[in-house]
Structure 1
Amino acid sequence: MMVADTKGLEQAARVSMSGFQDAEPPPAPRSSHLALRLGAIALFAAVALTAAWQLF
């Protein structure tokens, strides 16, 4: 088998397998990132208030 034949077979295999590849998942909604940020800020504020309460 020649190199040109091998390249042609590889290309044909890629084309035939392209229909079987999984589609990329949709991007995550931005609201989940916002909820995580707000949760982290609330947790940090609670820890800071607790530390301040213990100091005074």
Structure 2
Amino acid sequence: MTIADMNRLEQAARISMGEFLESEPSMEALPEAGRGLMKGIVLAAAAIMVLAIFWQLT
């Protein structure tokens, strides 16, 4: 397989994936919910770490 063939295959794959990604329904509200969930997870992890530190100190 030549480099030109590999380049054509790569270009075809990119075009195919671009069409696949464009056909997906837009979910603009999902990142907002994901950020809120991530903040909750980070806060819960921080609270657990603080409680573990206090438990070790007592």
TM (normalized to structure 1)? 0.51
Structure number having the greater helix percentage: 2
Aligned to 2:42: 40
Q: Partners in 2 of 1:45 and 1:39 — Cα distance? A: 10
Aligned to 1:31: 33
Q: Partners in 1 of 2:51 and 2:36 — Cα distance? A: 22
Following TM superposition, by how much is the alpha carbon of 1:28 offset from its aligned partner in structure 2, in angstroms?
Answer: 5.7
Q: Partners in 2 of 1:43 and 1:52 — Cα distance? A: 14
TM (normalized to structure 2)? 0.49
What percent of counterpart residues are identical? 22
Aligned to 2:55: 53
The structure with more radius of gyration? 1
Query: Which consecutive residues of structure 1, in runs of 5 or more, have no partner in the other structure?
Result: 1-22
State the 4+ residue runs in structure 1 displaced beyond 3 angstroms: none
Aligned length: 38
Aligned CA RMSD, in angstroms, stands at 2.7
Aligned to 1:16: none
List per-residue Cα deviations over 1:2-29 (Å, max 9, x = no partner): xxxxxxxxxxxxxxxxxxxxx6xx5462
